[in-house]
Structure formats: structure tokens, C-alpha cells
Structure 1
Amino acid sequence: MKKRKLGNTGIEVSEIAFGGVEIGLPYGIGVNSDKDMISEAKAIDLLRLALDSGINFFDTARMYGNSEHIMGKAFQNKRSEVILATKCVHLLDNEGNLPPKNKLRETVEKSIYESLKALQTDYVDIFMLHQATVKILENEEILTVFSSLKDKGLFKAAGVSTYTTEVTEKTIDIGFWNMIQLPFNLMDQRQGELFKKADEKGIGIVVRSVLLKGLLSDRGRNLHPALKDVENHIAKYHELLEGTNYKLPALATKFALSFPEVSSVLVGIDKQEYLEEALRTVDGVYLSKEKLNKARQLAYPEPEFINLPYWDKMKWLT
């Protein structure tokens, strides 16, 4: 497993990052309750197998159910071998407002200390804002409390999880944040426009949603009628598989890793077969310039429609 530098943080991460949401709560197509999830014992075994197989980067969050707790158990005697990234609790209320200054600081501090306890460690490598907005980023108290916690040694690098290019660009322009976790995939390539700018500022890029919650796999068939155009577009990527010995998920992952500014790609892993497939994908051979250009031309023509939270809300993914 090759490792890449995470911007200017001094941290080196495996090209594949183990996405921890699936082991902590019901998530993904066809996963509707706890009974559809992997058991805690099997999740611990899977995390340790991933580490033994060369993955050193593990991503979780306060909001991911039991994910931090499970990772804490898995790595309690292996802390020096892993790069742990976790995210703060959501900071906006139902009306989209931030709490008052003192309450905001208390919320962030409580979140990281709860994460450290669950992860059984005294620091995390990366501490992130979860679902950041421009309003959150412009709040001076956010920078103050993150700076204070970093100075205390509770984390090494400060990160932001973004959804839109507007928020990603704002993160870059602020000049404080060390890494950005953002959605980027064959269908929705808008964030790629900011890769160079982030790289020039020494900011690491971690890509998530590379498989579009599993749609860029065999699951991307027989979709809800509202997603018929999406399903038809996904079928176009199969022409890029001609002459290869891999499948669509591998193509989607190789696509993201073909950009030198990308440090790592988050892959949701809750089965050994998914781990093995991810490991086969990172063989050091990525898309040729010609195939990469072709993939870029096959971006979905209406990327603003690629909105997984909205699709979930509309129950188009169940």
C-alpha cells in the first residue's frame, strides 16, 4: 500500500482510507437497521485486518454511532500504527443557527474529549468540522477553540468536511485549515476545480463519496424511477472498463487517485470482500492521461442533481 503526504501536515496516509460510518450505524443502500450491520466483533477484526493489510488511515466521527468506540477497541494497543481522523458534532441547530460563543466552545471541547475517550487515545491526528458551512467557517470562535485544542496537543491537523465548492474555496482562503474532506467522483467532478488551489496552499485533499454510496457499483442498477437518467449515465462508464480486468468501483477509485493532489480516498468498508477489493484497486496503476480525460468528459451534465442527502430524504435509495 503506497502512502501519500497529507498536504504540509507531515502526516503520510495510505491511498485508501477506511471509512468508519458503516461500522457505526445503518448507512448505505439496503442497510436500514442494526440487523443489516456487521457485528462489533467482526468490525474489530475487519479494522485490524485492514491495518495489517497496509491501510493506516481510519476516518470516523462523533455522529457515526458506535464507530469511534469500535475503533478504540480495535486499536487500543496499536495507536502508533494508525492515523485517526474524527469529526466534531454538528454545530448548527435545526434552524441553521450556531450556539452562543461560550456554548459553542463548550460543544466543540466536549465533542473532542468524548471522541478521545471512545477512541482510547489522548490525541487524534486530524480533527474536523463536520458538514461545514460558510457561516461556521466565518465564526471567529471556531478558529479560536480549534487553535486552542491544537495547541494543547489534542490533535495534529485541523480539517473541514465540505459538501459544496463554495465552502471548499472558503476553507482554502481562510488559511488555517490543514486538510479538506470533500465529495468527488466520476459523476460529480465539480470539486476538482479547486484541487490545484488547495495544493498550492499545502492543504491535503481527502476524497469521499467516490462510489456515490455504492451507486458506482453493481448497486447502480434497477434504481428508483426518479434516478433513471442517473442509472443510464452510470452505464456509460462501462466503456472505460474495456481492456481492463477490474470493475466499476475500482475504476471510480482509480479515477480519484489519478489526481496527484489527492492524498487518500475514503472507502466505506463493512465486509472483508470490500476490503479485499479496495486493496486490489490500489496497485499503483491508475488512469492513463487519455482515459482520465475521457472520464472527465463523462461527468454527469447536471451535477447539482447529485445530492445524496436529498435522495435519502425522498427515499429514492431504499
Structure 2
Amino acid sequence: MKKQRLGQSDIYITPLSLGAMSLGKDKQKASNMIDEAIYNGINHIDTADLYDFGENERIIGEAVKEKRHDIILTSKVGNHFNKEKKEWFWDPSPAYIHQAIDASLKRLQTDYLDLYLLHGGTIEDPIDDIIETFERLKEKGKIRAYGISSIRPNVIDAYVHRSNINAIMMQYNILDRRPEELFAKIAEKDIHVLARGPFAKGILTDQTIVQIEKKAKEGYLSYAYEQLKEVLTSISSFQKSNLATIALQYVLQQDVVRSAVFGASSMDQLNKNIAAYTSEKLPPDIYIQLQSITKQLLYEQHRL
């Protein structure tokens, strides 16, 4: 897989990233899956301090400690959690960020994070203080770059124009095209998107019927159940590639999207997701057809 630069940083990541949230708590299984992802060319692993209340970071730290310099490691911050009570609250204060980064580094058994993301964010946050805190962490060598994980247009706009972020993680797939309205603004600042959920909860895979019945019986976003089935049938009808390949190609079509961040809970699922990847771009006419079949949804809340 060809690596590409993330924002204006010196970080280069692969077009596929392994999202670690679904790896589970079986340490050997998680380690095997991480090894398999790396063997297949993936160099970026994404986690968060909140996943399993820190246990996810701990498992990843153990799995990658011997190959730390071969991977790009991302974690997130902002959810102040109590592992014993399994409770958390939003806390993006500088004091908590400084506390949280040290805890994450310890769990991950590393001296630094390649990318540190604010795990959410509201327009009421002390944004300038948060930005200054991330900059201080860069100066101290605890992080190489920073960004946000958000789908709130007003929050994204604030960080795009007031900070030196290199990446924005957003849910983006062929059924959830809401981020597209922000792409021009993001690209203009030489910031890149990490697209989480490229397979839309598994709906955009060879398990589409099973997953629709399991996770989208009430629909998906503004797609009603029957409409969703019709759209997916249409998408599958004019391409020789499988649905998962089309899903990845669509997400990665625009240069502003640097990587598709997918999760996997089994080795089989991991390998199927990796096998769906192709470096080939969609032909322009097919890309336009896909856009005509699907909806150009817009974010309804947290507008500018």
C-alpha cells in the first residue's frame, strides 16, 4: 500500500487503517489480528483511551511494543473516565489532557503518539486553550501531530481556522456523505480526513442483507429500510467489484481522504476488509453514478 503524507506533518500513512475498538479483550487474538494487518501492509492503528476504559490501549501496547517504530499509532482524549465505575464525562480541559496523555503513553508502552485526536468537542470548549495544550505536547515530544475526531461543522470550522491540526476523523461512507460539504474547506488548509465507518456497520459488505436485518431494520440515517435495500441493489448492479471494494473506492476517491479506518472483530472479517482494497480509482462516470444513486445528506445540527 502506498503511504501518503498526513496534513503538513512528517507522518505517512497507508490508505487502510485498523480501528482497534472492535478487537476485543482477548490479548492473543488482538495481537494476531494486529500482526496480520501489519503483514498486509497497514501501518496505522487507531485507538482511544476510552475504549474498554483503557484496556484497549493496554492490549495494543503489548502487541506493538516490539514493532513500535514500524507503525503509526493514534489515540484520542477528552472523555474523563473512571475504570472502576465504568463512568465518564466530557473533559477537554488542559489539565486533564496533560494527565490523560501520560496515562495513555504508559498503557501503550511508548514515549510518544504519532497522532493525538480530541475525541469529540463542542463549540463551548476552551478551544484556544486546547490548541495550546496540543502544541505544548508537540514541543515536549509526546505527540508528533494532532487533530480532532468530530462530525460537528462548527467545531471542525473552529479548528480548521484556529489551529495547526493535520487530521480530522469523521464518519464517512457512500451512505453517509455528509462530510463532503466540508471537504473543500478542509483541503484548502492542507488538512486530511481519516474516514471511519467506511463499511457502514457492515452494510456495505458481502454481509449486506444480514447486517441490514441486524443493524438497519429501522433504516440508516435518512434511508428507510426498503429504500436502503433498493440503493444497495443499485450500487451492486453496475460494477463487477464487490460491494466492499466499491465502498472503499468511493471513500478514498478524493485526495482529501487519506485513509479509511475500519474495525474488525475476527481474523476472517479483517482479511475480508483488507482484500476489498484496491489502489485503482473509480472511473469518473461510475463515481458520478454512485453520487446520483445515493443522497447528498447535510449535517442538520451544530451548523456554523
TM-score computed with the length of structure 2 as normaliser? 0.85
* Distance apart, 1:106 and its partner CA: 2.2
* Equivalent-residue separation in structure 1 for 2:238 and 2:274 (angstroms): 20
Aligned residues: 286
Tell whether 2:43 aligns with 1:56.
yes
* Equivalent-residue separation in structure 1 for 2:201 and 2:17 (angstroms): 15
Summarize the Cα distance change of 1:244–1:300 in structure 2 as closer, same or farther, 3 Å threshold: closer
Match of 1:265 among 244, 247, 260: 260
Q: Which residue of 2 aligns with 1:75?
A: 64
Amino acid at match of 2:269: Y
Tell whether 2:72 aligns with 1:108.
no
Tell whether 2:240 aligns with 1:233.
no
Q: Which residue of 2 aligns with 1:40?
A: 27
* Distance apart, 1:173 and its partner CA: 1.7
Summarize the Cα distance change of 1:171–1:238 in structure 2 as closer, same or farther, 3 Å threshold: farther
Amino acid at match of 1:68: E
Q: Which residue of 2 aligns with 1:187?
A: 175
* Equivalent-residue separation in structure 2 for 1:214 and 1:129 (angstroms): 26
Q: Which residue of 1 aligns with 2:145?
A: 157
* Equivalent-residue separation in structure 2 for 1:45 and 1:98 (angstroms): 34
Tell whether 2:244 aligns with 1:249.
yes
Amino acid at match of 2:202: G
* Equivalent-residue separation in structure 1 for 2:123 and 2:295 (angstroms): 26
* Distance apart, 1:280 and its partner CA: 1.9
Summarize the Cα distance change of 1:170–1:215 in structure 2 as closer, same or farther, 3 Å threshold: farther
* Equivalent-residue separation in structure 2 for 1:111 and 1:225 (angstroms): 38
Contact in 1 for aligned 2:201/2:211 (Cα 8 Å): no
Summarize the Cα distance change of 1:50–1:225 in structure 2 as closer, same or farther, 3 Å threshold: closer
* Distance apart, 1:179 and its partner CA: 1.0
* Distance apart, 1:277 and its partner CA: 1.9
Contact in 2 for aligned 1:164/1:191 (Cα 8 Å): no
Contact in 1 for aligned 2:249/2:278 (Cα 8 Å): no
Match of 1:284 among 279, 293, 299: 279
Q: Which residue of 2 aligns with 1:141?
A: 129
* Equivalent-residue separation in structure 2 for 1:267 and 1:98 (angstroms): 26
* Distance apart, 1:21 and its partner CA: 0.7
* Equivalent-residue separation in structure 2 for 1:243 and 1:273 (angstroms): 27
CA RMSD of aligned residues (A): 2.5
Summarize the Cα distance change of 1:298–1:168 in structure 2 as closer, same or farther, 3 Å threshold: farther
TM-score computed with the length of structure 1 as normaliser? 0.82
* Equivalent-residue separation in structure 2 for 1:122 and 1:22 (angstroms): 25
> SS at the partner of 2:51?
coil
Q: Which residue of 2 aligns with 1:11?
A: 11
Summarize the Cα distance change of 1:69–1:97 in structure 2 as closer, same or farther, 3 Å threshold: closer
